[in-house]
């Protein structure tokens, strides 16, 4: 398994399969983050695509000062924020329609075999509530929460990405979590 640096070196020499390897390595993480920031799959997919294309085209400017994935996160977060700004926040009705879970795919039978129908329903409802709650947060709190909770980035990495101090990260997380607990209330006991 090649390291990111080795893959980048190959891409610079014109090897696109090396870029494909990088895309496949990070797409799932970036998609989860983009979905968290944007709240729907189409925008999340668009921003992930845009981020990879931007990364590819500006690879010459990647100096290796930060790790490749931190750099990629920054591009993705920027692409997602940009997209959110461009398209405006979606209204509630449209949003709820879009988060309708897709059952028929069946490739990832997540716990469905051991859940009874009412448990399944509860889990789906909880998922929709979580997404709704995240989308209600102010953008800065949402970004900090998504990077921390979904991606598990350190405060230092988040501060670096959001260009703020670690203390600011801590306070954005604090207020974001407080608000999430208010909204999700009894489900988080």
Partner 1 sequence: MTIRCEKVRELLGGFHDNELQGREFRTVSEHLKVCAGCAGELKRLETMSRLLKAHYEELAGKEDLSQVWSRVSAAIETPGVSDGREPLLERIMKIFALPKPAWAIAGAVAVVVVLMLASLPGDHMSTLAANDCIIDKVDSENCSFMLYEAGATKMKIIWVIDQGSGETEQQTGVTS
Angle at 142 between CA 53 and CA 130, to 5 degrees: 105
CA 24 – CA 22 distance, rounded (Å):
5
CB of 88 closer than 8 Å to CB of 43:
no
Distance CA 89, CA 95 (A): 9
Instruction: Count residues near partner 1 (CB under 8 A).
Output: 54
Helix ranges (H only) for 4-154 are 4-12, 16-38, 41-57, 68-87, 92-98, 117-136, 139-145
Choice from 14, 24, 65, 88 touching partner 1 (CB under 8 A) = 24
Q: Which among 62-70, 88-96, 114-122, 181-189 is the span making contact with partner 1, rule CB under 8 A?
A: 181-189
State the Cα–Cα distance between residues 35 and 171, nearest whole angstrom: 23
User: Given the rule CB under 8 A, which of 2-10, 87-95, 113-121, 148-156 is the region that contacts partner 1?
Assistant: 148-156
Residue 170 sits in the site that holds partner 1 (CB under 8 A): yes
Contact in structure between 131 and 38 (CB atoms under 8 Å): no
Give yes or no for residue 69 binding partner 1 (CB under 8 A): no
Spell out the residues 6+ positions from residue 126 whose beta carbon is closer than 8 angstroms to its own.
187
Residue 49 touching partner 1 (CB under 8 A): yes
Identify which range of 56-64, 65-73, 87-95, 135-143 contacts partner 1 by CB under 8 A.
56-64
Binding residue for partner 1, selected from 7, 8, 18, 35, defined by CB under 8 A: 35
Near partner 1 in 2-21, by CB under 8 A: 16, 19-20
Residues that bind partner 1 (CB under 8 A): 16, 19-20, 23-24, 27-29, 31-32, 35-36, 41, 45, 48-49, 52-54, 56-58, 61, 82, 86, 102, 105, 107-108, 110, 126-127, 130-131, 134, 145-146, 148-150, 152, 154-155, 166, 170, 173-174, 177, 180-181, 184, 187-189
């Amino acid at each position: 398994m090649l390291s990111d640096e080795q893959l980048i070196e190959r891409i610079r020499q014109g090897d696109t399969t090396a870029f494909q390897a990088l895309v496949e390595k990070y797409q799932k993480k970036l998609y989860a983050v983009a979905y968290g920031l944007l709240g729907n799959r189409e925008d999340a997919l668009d921003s992930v695509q845009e981020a990879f294309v931007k990364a590819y085209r500006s690879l010459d400017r990647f100096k290796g000062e930060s790790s490749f994935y931190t750099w990629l996160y920054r591009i993705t977060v920027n692409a997602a924020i940009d997209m959110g700004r461009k398209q405006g926040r979606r209204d509630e009705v449209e949003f709820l329609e879009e988060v309708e879970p897709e059952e028929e795919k069946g490739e990832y039978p997540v716990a469905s075999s051991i859940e009874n129908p009412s448990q399944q329903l509860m889990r789906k409802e909880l998922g929709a509530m979580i997404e709704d709650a995240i989308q209600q947060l102010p953008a800065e709190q949402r970004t900090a929460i998504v990077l921390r909770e979904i991606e598990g980035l350190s405060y230092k990495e988040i501060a670096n990405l959001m260009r703020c101090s670690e203390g600011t990260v801590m306070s954005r997380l604090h207020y974001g979590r407080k608000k999430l607990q208010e909204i999700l209330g009894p489900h988080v006991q």
